[in-house]
Each structure stands twice: as C-alpha cells, then as structure tokens.
Amino acid sequence: MRESVFETLVGLAVLAVAGFFLWFAMVNGNNDSGGDSDVLIGVRLSAASGVEPGTDVKMAGVKIGTVRDIEIDFDRTEALVTMVVDDRILPIGDGTSARVQGDGLLGGSYIGLEPAEGFGEIEMCATSDQLFGDTGCSELLYGQGSVDLLTLFASFASGSGDSSGDSE
C-alpha cells in the first residue's frame, strides 16, 4: 500500500512540474506580438517553402523578428510574406534584400535580411496605406525564395550542370 501512495505522489509532482512548464511557455512564448517597437515589412518571394507564420527573421545571424503572415498573389504567382521586425533596423535602405535560408541540412528555414544601400530608403506605410498595395510602402524590393534541394541535386545528377563545352 505504501508503494502505491508514493507512486501517486511522484505522479502528481511530475504533473505539477509539467503544468508549470506549460504555463511558463504560454506566458513567455511568442513575444513578437507587434508592440510599439515593432514594424511590419513585406517581401515578395518566388518560392516560400519552409516559411510559415512564426518563422524567424534574422539579420547578421541575430533574430530581429518573425513572419506574421503568408499569402499568395495569384496574378503574379508570388508569395507575399509579412514580417514583424524590431524598429531599431530603421531606416532600411532600398537595396536591402530578404532571402530564405536554411539552418543546416536538417534544420528549419529562416528569412535573412541583408541590408544594402540603394538610392534611398524604404518608406514605411501610413495608417491609410496597405502593405503590398499600390504605394509599395514597407516592401523590400529584392527577395530570393527558397531553393528546392532535391531539384538541385537532380539537375547535377542528370548532368544539366555540365559545362565541359564539348563541341563536335
């Protein structure tokens, strides 16, 4: 009888610890809620596989935000990616690019921002403007989508990347 009481108490302690960790994760998880120190920026990508809401946005390897939303522009067949980033990156040069990158061979994907000067700065949207609208506000001009590794490896295996220049 004594063993079953002890096992019950240990089980309750394990449940209490698991409940505490669940509560802690819910309270402290996803702090990128779009507060006063965050801004929305967008980018158009030809391929957004591996990117979903919650995907990290990094600059120089440091997380500066997350992906908020992904939609598709059926007219241009592009993915419209909306990101919430720290406003300390402002102003953003209009030469800045966004690229879908991988965290190693088996890791997930993230969007890497690469700042670059251009001819000016990207204008942030006013309250009456819409991201991906006619004004082009808050939109990065250069984006590189994800690369499908299976297609890349298949092109090398088939020899389509051969540049030996055999002429007959």
CA distances from residue 22 to 8, 11, 12 in whole angstroms, order as listed: 21, 16, 15
- The three-class DSSP label of residue 112 is strand
Torsion, Cα 96 98 103 109, to 10 degrees, reads: 160
> The whole model's pTM is what?
0.66
Quick: pLDDT tens for 90-148: 888 888 989 998 887 777 889 999 988 878 888 888 887 788 887 788 888 888 887 76
pLDDT grade for 156, boundaries at 50, 70 and 90: confident
- Using alpha carbons, list the distances in angstroms from residue 67 to 30, 54, 56, 120: 11, 5, 6, 25
- The reported pLDDT for the residue numbered 1 is 60
Contact in structure between 54 and 30 (CB atoms under 8 Å):
yes
pLDDT of residue 133: 81
| Structure confidence at residue 33 (pLDDT) | 44
Give residue 34's pLDDT.
47
What's residue 163's pLDDT? Answer: 54
Task: Give the phi and the psi of residue 20 in degrees, each rounded to 5.
Answer: -65, -45
Contacts 24+ apart (CB under 8 A), 65-72: 65/32, 65/38, 66/30, 66/32, 67/111, 68/34, 68/40
Angstrom CA distances, 151 to 77, 88, 98, 159, 161, stand at 20, 38, 22, 12, 12
Domain boundary assignment for the chain: 1-30, 38-154
Model confidence pLDDT, tens digit, residues 47-89: 888 889 999 999 998 999 999 999 999 999 999 999 999 988 8
Sign of CA dihedral 48, 148, 103, 28: positive
Give the model's pLDDT for residue 82.
92
